[in-house]
Amino acid sequence: MILVTGGAGFIGSNLQAALATRGEETVVLDRLGSAGKWRNLARHPPSRIVHPDRVDDFLAADPPLDIVFHLGAVSTTTALDGDLVWTSNVGLSQRLWSWCAARRVRLIYASSAATYGDGTAGFRDDASLAYLQGLRPLNLYGWSKHAFDLWVARRLAAGDPHPPQWAGLKFFNVYGPNEYHKGPMISVVKVKHDEVAAGARPRLFRSDQADLPDGEQKRDFIWVGDVVAIMLWLMDTPAASGLFNVGTGRARSYRDLAQAVCRAAGAAAEVEFIDMPAPLRGQYQSFTEARVEALREAGYADAFTPLEEGVRRYVQDYLAGPDPYL
Ligand code: NAD
């Protein structure tokens, strides 16, 4: 049996679909809520859904889990409620780590590229305490993910018990179907597609840095299918443990992304620029690019889906159709 926390969310439901297709029995720990997240699971429902308030009861019953995929979190990069973010993103992660370590259950958890802050310390998925201590996340969300990575590094350095396989995944910018509940956190691909579908030109934020031209802010955008493939590979490769960047290894500009959306939707590839909202200025990552050597050295050999192909698939197979869900 497999536990997927956050399994009703974007990445979690894509993983849930893949596990269900493989015939695995899964339990989802998440809130379905009233924003239509049930649709993320409609085609591939799990055996059971446990509400986060009941996690202690669920774990106390000693469920026969083989592996935990821990994706549940407050995923909003603009979150301000520090108590909620700490409890959800750090407290629950610590609880699951300790439970998995004691029961010898494998744990794959979501960290984030937001832990790298403005990127001045690089994008190395180095799990050493010394390197991690040099990272400076720009917001509460990134800090919460970083705080758990650090907690793990301290426990490992102290020789404390750990899950028999553990992997922290620093997801970069993931895009693909089943993200429609995410409100302002929805991927730029979906936002730009909505603009183009409404007959407008896609709008991009002007650069907030004098030496960076508008539209040339770059991120490592990764197709959700590649993210799921990496998680399944980890499940099939119990010897692989560590902190892994999950990006393509190639930063692409927002301009490239917007133009790819236009082409996939059959529209003219013309972009318009608007001012960056005040809350984002100075907190905005203008460049992210995963170093993927750790994943490659661990043996993951599949190619990543190029941006143009992932965008084409997302737009034509999901967003432009009558039912955009996986
Ligand atoms: P999402 O918001 O769609 O999914 C997260 C899910 O976690 C939600 O369904 C939410 O209800 C659930 N959740 C919140 N608190 C919980 C709790 N205490 N217990 C159980 N579930 C809880 O976000 P997502 O994009 O699917 O992100 C999945 C994971 O990947 C998150 O940990 C997120 O921080 C991380 N991540 C995502 C991206 C991305 O580009 N989407 C990038 C970096 C990291």
Residue 325 covered by a domain: no
Residue 245: inside a domain: yes
Tell me which residue range forms the domain holding 37: 2-174+221-249+291-302
Instruction: Round the average pLDDT of the chain to a whole number and report it.
Output: 96
Residue 280: pLDDT band with limits 50, 70, 90: confident
Task: Mark out the alpha helices in 139-217 (DSSP H runs).
Answer: 140-157, 188-197
Question: For residues 244 and 296, what is the distance between their CA atoms, to the nearest angstrom?
Answer: 10
pLDDT digits (tens, 9 = 90+) for 152-190: 999 999 999 999 999 999 999 999 999 999 999 999 999
Q: Does residue 326 fall inside a structural domain?
A: no
Same domain, 181 and 170: no
Mutate to test the pocket of ligand 1, among 3, 11, 31 (most ligand atoms within 8 A of CB): 11
Q: Is it the case that residue 29 has pLDDT exceeding 90? A: yes
CATH number, domain containing residue 169: 3.40.50.720
Active site residue 182: yes
19 and 142 in a single domain? The answer is yes
Cα 93 to chain centroid, rounded? 15
Q: Is 16 a pocket residue for ligand 1 (Cβ < 6 Å)? A: no
Predicted model pTM = 0.96
Closest-CA residue to 5 (of 29, 40, 25) = 29
Average of pLDDT values for 206-213? Answer: 88
Nearest to 171 by CA among 155, 152, 153, 149: 149
The answer to whether position 45 is within a domain reads yes
Query: With bands split at pLDDT 50, 70 and 90, how would you rate the model's confidence at 283?
Result: low
Token pair of 293 as six digits: 């050597």
Q: Compute φ and ψ for 87, nearest 5 degrees.
A: -60, -45
Section 25-31 average pLDDT: 98
Query: Same domain for 137 and 268?
Result: no
| pLDDT of 57 higher than 90 | yes
Q: Is the CB of 71 under 6 A from ligand 1?
A: yes
Q: Is 188 in the pocket of ligand 1 (CB under 6 A)?
A: no
Q: Could you confirm whether 141 is annotated as catalytic?
A: yes
**Mean of pLDDT values over 199-228:** 94
Q: Which residue, by CA, sits nearest to atom 9 of ligand 1?
A: 9
Residues whose CB falls within 8 Å of the CB of residue 153, separated by 6 or more in sequence, listed in order: 127, 128, 129, 132
Q: What spacing in Å lies between the alpha carbon of 267 and ligand 1's midpoint? A: 32
Q: Are residues 140 and 275 in the same domain?
A: no
Length in residues, the chain: 326
Residue 193 pLDDT exceeds 90: yes
**Number of domains making up the chain:** 2
How open is the CA angle 171-145-308, to the nearest 5 degrees? 15
CA-nearest residue, atom 39 of ligand 1: 174
